[in-house]
Structure 1
Amino acid sequence: MIRPKILMRLIHINWVMMFHGLDEIVLKTHLFRPIRYIAFLSPNYWTSKAREPRGVRIRKTLEDLGPIYVKFGQTLSTRKDLLPEDIAEELVKLQDKVPPFSAETARKIIEQQLGQSIEEAFAEFDPQPLASASVAQVHTATLNSGEKVIVKVLRPDIEDKIHSDVGLLYELARLAERFWSDARRLRAMEIVAEFEKTILDELDLVREASNASAIRANFKNSEMLYIPEIHWPLTRRKVLVMERIYGVPVGDIEALRKGNADFKKLAERGVEIFFTQVFRDNFFHADMHPGNIFVQLPDKYLAVDFGIVGSLSSSDQRYLAENFLAFFNHDYRKVAQMHIESGWVPASTRVEEFEAAIRSVCEPIFEKPLKDISFGLLLLRLFQTARRFDMVVQPQLVLLQKTLLNIEGLGRQLYPDLDLWQTAKPFLENWFKQRLGPSAKIKELLSKFPEITEQIPEMPGLVFQALQSAAHMEQQMQQHQKEMLELRKQLRRNNTRTLRAILGTGVLIAAALILQSPLLRG
């Protein structure tokens, strides 16, 4: 039974879709084509709203539905290869051009969070937002020290909206797992739980500031990536103040071209930054859509907005690296074996059959630049393979998969001739050499040497305890053996007595039968 609050939200979603004329688009799909004529009964069909381009209607619908839907549109906007051009171009506007909230509201939130007036906190403050996204908007300001900064302000009442939509997602996931067998394999409830944790973390700007500081430290003095500095005295849960950076938005290809950007190096560095964050640092920026990435010409990245980050367990990290390398080396048998060993596919799966399926999907895309790869077809075939072999979705990897798609989408925009595989393979080989090679083992041993030396004075006592324990154990074993031997002797004696009793009873019964025989009486 759907709860009333969830039902009201579903009704609202349908009303928003109808208001923007999306009922017409839905009715044109294959499923609803037989009843498409009922669209003429909709008032929106005859209004100017319905005559707006479909991309505009979809964008406005996502904006009106709230932050979760805007996030979905942002993710789609990075995959222009999977969308019609008119829809993709409109969804790009969701990255930093979501309708802003009022300057008065922003001012009230800032002053409430900082406990002082805008005039006290800043020498200058621009009430006109520089950019506005799904969760927050940003204003430019100048500190009393003269430093230029960005002030990020959380949207008002956003937590209630997100909780409402997450509740709807849980309800839909619950219904899906109840009535759709594939939803259980896809682990819909766990994926929603992972998404809920991620989106709620994004509502704490102190956490985001901490994430930014950590990645800034990881890439200190890097030639590939720069992260702006956080101003902690003016940072609160709903307000974040950081250094203002100046760069060209990575999605503005024309401006990059005019600035003589090195597109090939940018594409290669994007891949390297991703793999460095995932495997070297185990802490990656998981919201790398074009609205959060800028370029310092000609070839250096500037990144902002660290509300969503990801990390992996050491086992997932190593397993993923081994999978990537196996893919890059065309070793599909190893990929199949690792999936079975990890439990991602059932243990009863035939390795040869799974290997052949993976080869048929992946082999056609190797040694091809991004522009020659149909990722729409690749994803479709991967989903078909996963369904065929009952492959279980890993919720902890969903953020990583989303980020990888964003990186690939950026690479396609910047340098379609990029060979993704050859760019990533040397990095992974070097990572394995550093983490698992002989020198890595020696370093690990040396790192533990101080701990070992601290235990050396205690070793004689530990050895003595071990010998005492072994001697005591040996005595117990000997006693146990004696008891077992005695038990065997007792069993043999009991068995002999039992056998004699049985034989004696048998003889008596036989004698009685003979004495009662008619032959003896006669």
Structure 2
Amino acid sequence: MRGPHNIWRLIRTGATLERTGAMGVVLDAYEAPPLLRAAARILGWPFQWLGDRGDPAMPPATRALTALGPAYIKFGQVLSTRPDLVGADLARQLRVLQDKLPPFGMDEARHAVEAELGRPLDEIYSEFSEPVAAASIAQVHHARLREDGREVAVKILRPGIERAFRRDVDAFYLAATLIEGLSSSFRRLHPSDVIEHFDGVVRAELDLRLEAAAASEFAANTEKDQGFRLPAVQWDLSSRRVMTMDWMDGVPMGDNVALDAAGHDRAVLGERVLQLFLNHALRDGYFHADMHQGNLKVGPDGTIIAYDFGIMGHIDEYTRRVYAEILYGFIRRDYRRVAEVHFEAGYVPADRDVDEFARALRAVGEPIFGMDATRISMGRLLSYLFEVTEKFGMETRTELILLQRTMVVVEGVARSLNPQINIWEIAQPIVQDYIGKNLGPRALARDLTRAAQVMARFGPRLPRLVEQALMRQVAEPKPLRPNRWRAAVIWATIGGAVGAALTLAIGLAG
């Protein structure tokens, strides 16, 4: 990880940042201390001639990352979802990174398909086009199956992309280690953890089987959603480096002129985009986290078609309930209840003042509600909310930052279709319906049933687990405080008794 090639890669990175003017932007965004600023300048300035110039028409940060190549482009896109780490201004700059590169050749594409699928390309496809889209990790071809004539999209990883990403990610880890050693103020941002998160995202995108699985799960969740479709995965023609999906024609979501010419109602489409996203996030807890115009089309019948499932967001059921109640509290302008929910969920430390927190939340909500309805933004509300909760000691939650970032993107898509759209008017019934189904008596009964099933399953094992724990404590006494140990035994024993009772109750009910 710390070989000379990684050091040389960091020198080239520093030189490119310096040459494009991005070094100062990055250091300012992180409020870098003097020692780190000096080290960065020393790393970059003497070697400027080694750095890439990039496209002068781009902002400095996007210009530098684009010049440095695919891994840096992808890293910038991941950081654009983390304004808590890079600041709102830099995150905004990074969102415009264009994940587009020149395509690789047809011979390489043919070789990749044949190596992965184990058959000659002409035996699988009767037609196979030049690339129709090319990004930093993969490119897509339009093809026709020889077997039944169906049109399909074939996504192929770039040759050698895994090795190229591995090299750059290793250099990122080295940079994170150096930064942590230089500045204690940077250690609180956990740069190594950020690189580890990025590494996980990239590893997932470099295995198209995982994207195919994400598409399949997303399709299963949304199969009953009116006006929404996903291309089906052709599993027998998909592998780690090649993925085949049905081809679905449609008008690009970002082309308003073409949408109007096709007779689509853009106001209806804007509402549907928002409704779909909110349902996926709240109802399913699994949402498309890259839902921009480039990944959306509109079919001839007005159906919204989604593509590219490399980045998906997940929110667990408990967190969904908490944030639905928070959003609903804001919709009703019940700031005291919003504050209480934060305390009940443990998001804000218990030693903080709930009334003071409620007043801070009012300062977030009232200016937004004072706006014209067409300017109200749920994404902006979440952004302000995170700022306030951070001041009151709430730790950053990565999945919610991704939710907020995607909400901003989806709202942007909706407003591009209909600038007069009223976000709250669309959101309120969805949030209210979710709360009715998941926070009322029916939800409590459902939760108790699940708890009973779990206890029934593990209840018979609890006495043995307690006995084993006691035996270990006798054999190897540990410095546990007596009251804590007694509490553990008491609760385990109670759990065993409850589990046995529930087992009997369920058995009798059956």
TM-score normalised by L of structure 2: 0.72
In 1: Cα distance, 2:210 partner to 2:122 partner: 26
CA contact (8 A) 1:203 1:307 kept: no
SS of 1:130's equivalent in the other structure is strand
1:196 is aligned to 2:181: no
| Offset at residue 241 of structure 1 (A) | 0.7
Query: Partner of 2:12 in structure 1?
Result: 12
Query: Partner of 2:114 in structure 1?
Result: 111
Query: Percent of aligned positions with the same letter in both sequences?
Result: 33
Worse overlay, 435-444 or 305-314? 435-444
| Offset at residue 246 of structure 1 (A) | 0.8
Query: Partner of 2:256 in structure 1?
Result: 253
Q: How far does the alpha carbon of each residue in 1:473-519 deviate from its partner, in whole angstroms, 9 at most, with x for none?
A: xxxxxxxxxxxxxxxxxxxxxxxxxxxxxxxxxxxxxxxxxxxxxxx
Query: Partner of 1:501 in structure 2?
Result: none
SS of 1:254's equivalent in the other structure is helix
| Offset at residue 394 of structure 1 (A) | 1.3
SS of 1:431's equivalent in the other structure is helix
CA contact (8 A) 2:374 2:422 kept: no
1:53 is aligned to 2:20: no
**Match runs of 1:29-428 below 5 Å:** 52-55=56-59, 58-59=62-63, 61-62=65-66, 64-70=68-74, 72-73=76-77, 91=96, 94-95=98-99, 97-126=100-129, 128-144=130-146, 145-171=148-174, 173=176, 179-181=183-185, 184=188, 188-297=191-300, 299-366=302-369, 368=371, 372=375, 384-428=387-431
In 2: Cα distance, 1:183 partner to 1:361 partner: 30
In 1: Cα distance, 2:379 partner to 2:323 partner: 22
Cα 1:268–1:308, aligned 2, differ >3 Å: closer, same or farther? Answer: same
Query: Partner of 1:472 in structure 2?
Result: none
In 2: Cα distance, 1:201 partner to 1:324 partner: 31
What root-mean-square deviation, in Å, do the aligned CA atoms of Structure 1 and Structure 2 show?
Answer: 4.4
CA contact (8 A) 1:231 1:242 kept: yes
Q: How far does the alpha carbon of each residue in 1:148-168 deviate from its partner, in whole angstroms, 9 at most, with x for none?
A: 111100122222333344445
CA contact (8 A) 1:295 1:301 kept: yes
In 2: Cα distance, 1:446 partner to 1:28 partner: 53
Unaligned stretches of 5+ in structure 2? 33-37, 39-43, 461-510
CA contact (8 A) 1:344 1:391 kept: yes
Worse overlay, 331-340 or 160-169? 160-169
In 2: Cα distance, 1:308 partner to 1:50 partner: 27
**Larger radius of gyration, structure 1 or 2?**
1
In 2: Cα distance, 1:344 partner to 1:448 partner: 24
Cα 1:42–1:314, aligned 2, differ >3 Å: closer, same or farther? Answer: closer
| Offset at residue 424 of structure 1 (A) | 1.3
SS of 1:54's equivalent in the other structure is coil
TM-score normalised by L of structure 1: 0.71
Unaligned stretches of 5+ in structure 1? 456-461, 463-522
CA contact (8 A) 1:249 1:294 kept: yes
Q: How far does the alpha carbon of each residue in 1:361-399 deviate from its partner, in whole angstroms, 9 at most, with x for none?
A: 232112646763589987885565355323310134343
Cα 1:169–1:442, aligned 2, differ >3 Å: closer, same or farther? Answer: same
SS of 2:131's equivalent in the other structure is coil
Aligned partner letter, 1:321:
A
Worse overlay, 101-110 or 160-169? 160-169
SS of 2:416's equivalent in the other structure is helix
CA contact (8 A) 1:191 1:395 kept: no
Cα 1:406–1:4, aligned 2, differ >3 Å: closer, same or farther? Answer: farther
SS of 2:323's equivalent in the other structure is helix
Larger RCO (CA under 8 A, 6+ residues apart): 1
CA contact (8 A) 2:208 2:239 kept: yes
CA contact (8 A) 2:230 2:307 kept: yes
| Offset at residue 225 of structure 1 (A) | 1.0
Q: How far does the alpha carbon of each residue in 1:1-29 deviate from its partner, in whole angstroms, 9 at most, with x for none?
A: 9875543332222344466x446985998
Aligned partner letter, 2:398:
P
| Offset at residue 298 of structure 1 (A) | 6.6
Query: Partner of 1:466 in structure 2?
Result: none
